[in-house]
Structure 1
């Protein structure tokens, strides 16, 4: 390490502004004269003010003034609002807006879900869908059953075990 000739340093590194010490005395004297001229700060506190301040604050905080309470929902307003709500409810529940449903507008998926959940048998389904005069021999006389159609039906809808046991 180099010692950088520390014993030969002539400059301290600090500098003062020019004419700093020439004006210093004038500035200190003007500050003293200003403080003597303004002996009264301009604010005055009444005598024994801080002695009674705590008691005054506690008395003002502890005093509770009773105020008149106006409820948000008085009986008159509640009656008006409930009558309007009832009128609107009746308007939407009346049959003015209802449309007549028919068999063409029923969704097929809804009917399937109803049949599955209600566990209806084939007789109940037939009684729901067909009336007494709907089934006749003439309606089945036009249908021809070929051997391929019957064989395909049995292959798709039955198993070998069903055919053997029956």
Structure 2
């Protein structure tokens, strides 16, 4: 008996042996608020039929639906590619002419002529350092400028000068090595 609560309904009914004539459906109190709210809303609704269907509504219903669903055939406008290219090319040509005139009048307007003398020594040294020049390239450039024997017809060179040059500037050991 200690496990049972003395004031509970089940305990009293068990001891009393009597059943009361009242019963409550299951989940009655759980759904009570919703049920009351629904009943109040139903009382506010009018009992009359407020909506009426026109007499010929169902006769034309199928035609109306099909007319709104089926696509209308519209004539599409065709723009030829040739016309578009001609229009764009004329605009591009006008823009390029304006750009050319604008750049020439503002950017490239210099009166200074560029010559080798206008280069600074630093620029020349930088170019020589960054570009390697081979002897074959130098020979190709100077090939046209080689002196011809006829270029010296007005000069007279003495034989002694030629002998001195040969004796002092040529190393005979190298010549002998080249021959062998």
Please, what TM-score do these two structures have when normalized by structure 1? Answer: 0.38
Please, what TM-score do these two structures have when normalized by structure 2? Answer: 0.36
Q: Which of the two has higher C-alpha Rg?
A: 2
* Higher RCO (C-alpha 8 Å, min separation 6): 2
